[in-house]
Amino acid sequence: MEKIIEQFLEMVKLGGASRDERAVADYMTEKLKELGCSVYEDDAGERAGGNTGNLIARLPGTLPGCVALSAHMDRVSNGYNIKPSFTDDGWIVSDGTTILGADNVSGLASILDGLRRLKNSGAAHSEVEVVLSICEEDGILGARLLDPSLMKADMCFVFDSTGPLGQIDVKRPYKAMIDMEVVGKRAHGGSPEKGVNAIKAACNMLAGIREGRLDEESTSNLGVFHGGPKEPGTVCGSVKIRCEARSVDRQKLMDYLKYFEEYCREHIKGSGARLEFSYEIQHGNCCYTEDDEIVKLAMGELRAMGIEPTLGLTMEGCDGNVYNSNGVPCISFGMGNANAHSLDEKVKADELIRSGELAERLILAYSRRQEGKK
């Protein structure tokens, strides 16, 4: 069995979740050290309430520059007691009672394999920085807690896209979280005229608002609506609402947030309730085209492997959104994964094997480029 597949299966079986990345992190630390890396673990675990920090591993190089490879160590829920097996047509699947964990064990295995190939080749290369986050599945929390000054790379390849090998996600959105409270007045349900019902005010306020799919690169979602006392015999005095909005384009996002606030303020009028409104931009975007250096480099390597690249837009954020906002250009690769986050999650074994080859090629292509600049 290929080493990358063997390690993929081992890591999948270790189990894990956001805030419980310990087993996977210890495995990666050991293997990275065997490959000649130094490994540093930050304090993000304590700050996130978990048992593991982000890992930053460094493989020294003899050529100038530094290139990063990134993946995340956590997985969505139902990620323990995974029993992977092979289908006749070459997929690795779970037994259907759990996720497979290919999101993002495929990325971890690809990075290890890329470094192993690099070591075996003996080729000269630039410094390689491996950035492995915690709590990616929980609002990209680990990457947001990472001290940006720990990343020295001037380019980062993220191995965390869903899709076939050849898929490169070059566009990912900004994301804003919107927090609202509709404050009415609590009263006895038998004397409703003494109260102001926050549920009714909030529903009327939101009933006609533009949300959901906004355009091809923008979405919004009314996600959480929470309020009321325990007893239905009380007029509801307060409702809290959490929403989010995303757009690849910053101006579109800002315009939508302005519209959203103005719409709510206009439509709370006359209800007797008042509105508290705030938002925060949770992370920035990634937005590259085939004219950008990082994309050209990746497309060149995929073509050299005989694979025609596809440039994609995904509305999901990833660690790359944060690193990119911190000034390190990021794009993200498919590795033959499908049905992420579901019990039908699977990965195509032969594409995963070639993802390791891609990781090595990206490091070498970056290194050649740096050598040319000397």
**Token pair 């047509």 is at which residue?**
89
Q: What three-state secondary structure class fits 235? A: strand
* 160 vs 351 by CB, closer to Zn ion: 160
End-to-end CA distance of the chain: 40
* 61 vs 107 by CB, closer to Zn ion: 107
CB of 104 to Zn ion, least distance (A): 4
CB of 172 to Zn ion, least distance (A): 12
Residue 104 sits in the site that holds Zn ion (CB under 5 A): yes
* 32 vs 335 by CB, closer to Zn ion: 335
CB of 141 to Zn ion, least distance (A): 13
Strands 156-161 and 330-334: parallel
User: Which tokens hold the place of 92?
Assistant: 């690795």
Site string for Zn ion, 355-374 (x = CB under 5 A): --------------------
Q: What three-state secondary structure class fits 328? A: coil
Residue 103 sits in the site that holds Zn ion (CB under 5 A): yes
CB of 103 to Zn ion, least distance (A): 4
* 42 vs 160 by CB, closer to Zn ion: 160
Number of residues that bind Zn ion (CB under 5 A): 3
CB of 316 to Zn ion, least distance (A): 8
Site stretch for Zn ion (CB under 5 A), options 41-49, 100-108, 149-157, 186-194: 100-108
* 20 vs 160 by CB, closer to Zn ion: 160
137-166 residues near Zn ion, rule: CB under 5 A: 160
Question: Which residues, 6+ apart, have CB-to-CB distance to 100 below 8 Å?
Answer: 12, 82, 84, 92, 93, 94, 345, 346, 347
| Largest distance between two CA atoms of the chain | 82
Work out the burial of residue 85: count CB atoms within 10 Å of its CB; fewer than 13 is exposed, 13-18 middle, 19 or more buried.
Answer: exposed
Distance CA 325, CA 285 (A): 7
Residue 74 sits in the site that holds Zn ion (CB under 5 A): no
Radius of gyration from C-alpha coordinates of the chain:
24
- The pair phi, psi for residue 330, each rounded to 5°, is -130, 140
Question: Which residues, 6+ apart, have CB-to-CB distance to 26 below 8 Å?
Answer: none
Residue 345 sits in the site that holds Zn ion (CB under 5 A): no
* 104 vs 324 by CB, closer to Zn ion: 104
Closest CA to 135 of 213, 60, 243, 49: 49
Distance CA 160, CA 194 (A): 54
CB of 299 to Zn ion, least distance (A): 22
CB of 169 to Zn ion, least distance (A): 11
31-70 residues near Zn ion, rule: CB under 5 A: none
* 61 vs 79 by CB, closer to Zn ion: 79
Question: Which residues, 6+ apart, have CB-to-CB distance to 223 below 8 Å?
Answer: 242, 243, 244
Residue 319 sits in the site that holds Zn ion (CB under 5 A): no
* 103 vs 351 by CB, closer to Zn ion: 103
CB of 160 to Zn ion, least distance (A): 4
CA 130, 49, 106, 7 dihedral sign is positive
Site stretch for Zn ion (CB under 5 A), options 101-109, 185-193, 224-232, 265-273: 101-109
Residues that bind Zn ion (CB under 5 A): 103-104, 160
